[in-house]
Amino acid sequence: MPQRRALLNTYLCGFAGQSYVSTRISPSGMLPQMNARRVGALCWMATLAAATLLLGPAARATPPGTGEAAPAPAAAAPIPNTECLACHATGVMGAPKIDPRVLAHSVHASLACVSCHDSIKGIPHPPRVAAVECTSCHVTEGRALAHGSHAPPMTPEPPAKGAGRATPTCITCHGAHDVQPVTHPPFLRRVTRTCAGCHAQAYRSYMSTPHGQAATLGMKRAPTCINCHDPHSALPPSNPRSRLFARNRLATCRSCHAGATAKFTGFDPHPRPGDPRRSAVLTGVHDFMVVLLIGVFGFFGLHTMLWLQRGFVGRLRGELRRVSHFSGPHIQRFTVVDRLTHVTVILSFMLLALTGLALMHPRTAWARAITAFFGGPHTMSIVHIVNGGITFGYFFFHLCYLGYRVVVKKQRYRLLGRDSLVPNWKDIVDIGRNFRWFLYLGPQPRMGRWTYWEKFDYWAVFWGVVIIGVSGLMLSAPVYFTRFVPGIALNVALVVHSEEALLATGFIFIFHFFHNHLRPEKFPIDISIFTGRVPLDRFKEERPLQYQQLVDEGRLERSIVPAPSPFMTAISVIFGFAVVITGIALILLVIFAG
């Protein structure tokens, strides 16, 4: 400031000197006219020299072409992120808190904060800053957004309760400082949950399909909302530019399901089995399966509770005795083929239950743990499909083995005679008599080779293999099967497969385990299906009709065998306990998962 005042005074002095020469000296004739001009010029030159001395070296510009030019003023350096995080990392003085670790893993980690917050020119900055314009860089997405269902004007904050809902912004789906790659599974799961904030019903129906279940467990190829609905335009299916418009839908499906036909597009990715207006067929199948579930669980639930209390009372009264598996004479009840087949059934069923129930409850911690144990959702699905194939294998083996014994061995009584598993009138009578025993109104019914609950177990496997197997085949190869059936058949298969799987696992892990291992007279485990041998005393008590039949036919002595070896007994006990404990744990997890 002092230099500027001195410079101004110097210029004023120069101007005054030149004026004095021109007006005072020259007109009076004291100097010739030419000399007066020279004196004025000398005054201005002295003024410039004084100005140069006052401003210093920086004011002395070098004439062009005679030396090095003066440097141009430097541009202001951008504000480093460290200065921003000095406040925002800790939230000091009310600043929005930002985790530096989250920012470091963002796709924008290499950018300066002010690259997006370009209204900030210095620190400290005003408390309120201008909104970030993502579309200044993401132009294509901005154009799509401007013409879609989520178009501006946008509400940056959620509205007050009861005042409608906010239009989603870029931050709603992508986040502000934790922006992830759009192919990253955590982002896909998060954006799907974000959609659920407004589209709750669509989200629930999506989660009931393999699409939602596999995506939640982290399968990269599983479609999310943004695969079928364009994430930025989000046009309704009625719009000709929508991916879901009638003529565009097949191309959208083929982006994942190569080779899909027009019938494939009949699959409903947001099924509502309880809405007959959407699909009467799907609703009818769903209602039938619900009635079946209620009927089976209702009947056997009552049956089990009554038997449980009657068994405890029978043990206290001494009516029912526990018999040792480790000593005394035994009866050979199951052949080697029977035992190996049953072990195969157990192993394949347990693996199907583990992988299938994890897929049905993908948001639970235990489902994620099971998925990780199998190496991820893709590997787990392969394990599920392979064991489904094993199920078909033992099913057809059993049919062939049964046919061999009936046709070749002439054992027709196994099909329709005394040892048949086909239900008959006596089974109906035994049900009534057993309920009378439960209620202390009569003795236990006298059973033969197969009881009515064992026959139910057997035919439930037949029903289950056909129903679960066929529906599972359709779901594992949807493109192939929709060459012959409409896409809605996949929705029907999905309902049947999931409901029947719930019925099968619930029945096996609760009622089958109770009948064969957990009822008071057998607790804690029955290993006869693994050793093939039953203690003779228990055989006479549980199956008096078959015992009498062996006596009458003179086959009792030939059927008596020694107790199983200690090694076989130990292996059977360990294996049996492992299966029972795993099954009960699984059903409890499903119950508490809701």
Query: Would 196 be classed as within a structural domain?
Result: no
Q: Contact 521/311 with Cβ under 8 angstroms?
A: yes
pLDDT at position 581 over 60: yes
Q: How far, in Å, are 330, 332, 529, 562 from residue 557 at the CA level? A: 11, 11, 21, 12
Please identify, among 14, 31, 48, the residue that sits at the C-terminal boundary of a domain. 48
Please write the tens of the pLDDT for every residue from 271-304. Answer: 999 889 889 999 999 999 999 999 999 999 999 9
Query: Would 195 be classed as within a structural domain?
Result: no
DSSP string, 240-276: TTSTTSTTTHHHHHHTTSTT--GGGGG--SS--TT-T
Among 4-13, 194-203, 411-420, 570-579, the least confident range: 4-13
Residue 307 β-bridge partners: none
d(CA 579, CA 350): 8
What's residue 153's pLDDT?
A: 55
d(CA 311, CA 521): 7
What's residue 3's pLDDT?
A: 45
Q: Contact 328/563 with Cβ under 8 angstroms?
A: yes
CA dihedral 391, 392, 393, 396 (to 10 degrees): 130
Query: Would 219 be classed as within a structural domain?
Result: no
Identify the band that residue 233 occupies on the pLDDT scale cut at 50, 70 and 90. confident
Query: Would 109 be classed as within a structural domain?
Result: no
Strand order in the sheet with 330-332: 533-535, 330-332, 560-561
What's residue 152's pLDDT?
A: 64
What's residue 325's pLDDT?
A: 64
Residue 136 DSSP code = G
Please write the tens of the pLDDT for every residue from 464-506. Answer: 999 999 999 999 999 999 999 999 999 999 999 999 999 999 9
Please write the tens of the pLDDT for every residue from 515-557. Answer: 999 999 888 899 999 999 999 989 999 999 999 999 998 999 9
d(CA 347, CA 100): 49
Query: Would 17 be classed as within a structural domain?
Result: yes
Q: Contact 358/217 with Cβ under 8 angstroms?
A: yes
Q: Contact 237/268 with Cβ under 8 angstroms?
A: no
Mean pLDDT of the chain: 84
What's the CATH number where 464 sits?
1.20.950.20
What's residue 70's pLDDT?
A: 41
Q: Give the number of other CB atoms < 10 A from CB of residue 350.
A: 19
Tally of domains in the chain: 2
DSSP string, 338-387: HHHHHHHHHHHHHHHHHHHHHHHSTTSHHHHHHHHHTTSHHHHHHHHHHH
Please write the tens of the pLDDT for every residue from 57-78. Answer: 433 333 333 334 444 444 456 7
d(CA 458, CA 395): 11
Q: Is 498 exposed, middle or buried (0-12, 13-18, 19+ CB in 10 A)?
A: buried
Please write the tens of the pLDDT for every residue from 15-24. Answer: 444 444 444 4
Q: Contact 460/507 with Cβ under 8 angstroms?
A: yes
Q: How far, in Å, are 46, 53, 56, 115, 155 from residue 4 at the CA level? A: 17, 12, 12, 38, 53
pLDDT at position 322 over 60: yes
Please write the tens of the pLDDT for every residue from 363-378. Answer: 999 999 999 999 999 9
Per-residue tokens: 290: 């619900």
| Residues contacting 135, CB < 8 A, separation 6+ | 141, 142, 145
Enclosing domain of residue 17: 2-48
| Residues contacting 353, CB < 8 A, separation 6+ | 501, 505, 509, 583, 586
Query: Would 126 be classed as within a structural domain?
Result: no
What's residue 185's pLDDT?
A: 79
- Three-class SS of 194-214: HHHCCCHHHHHHHHCCHHHHH
Q: Please compute the mean of the pLDDT values over residues 30-43 and round it to a whole number.
A: 43
Query: Would 65 be classed as within a structural domain?
Result: no
Closest Cα to residue 519, out of 298, 313, 296, 299?
313
Please write the tens of the pLDDT for every residue from 546-572. Answer: 999 999 989 999 999 999 999 999 999
Q: Please compute the mean of the pLDDT values over residues 211-226 and round it to a whole number.
A: 89
Q: Contact 364/593 with Cβ under 8 angstroms?
A: yes
Please write the tens of the pLDDT for every residue from 156-181. Answer: 444 444 444 567 888 888 888 989 88
Angle at CA of residue 55, ends 52 and 57, nearest 5°: 80
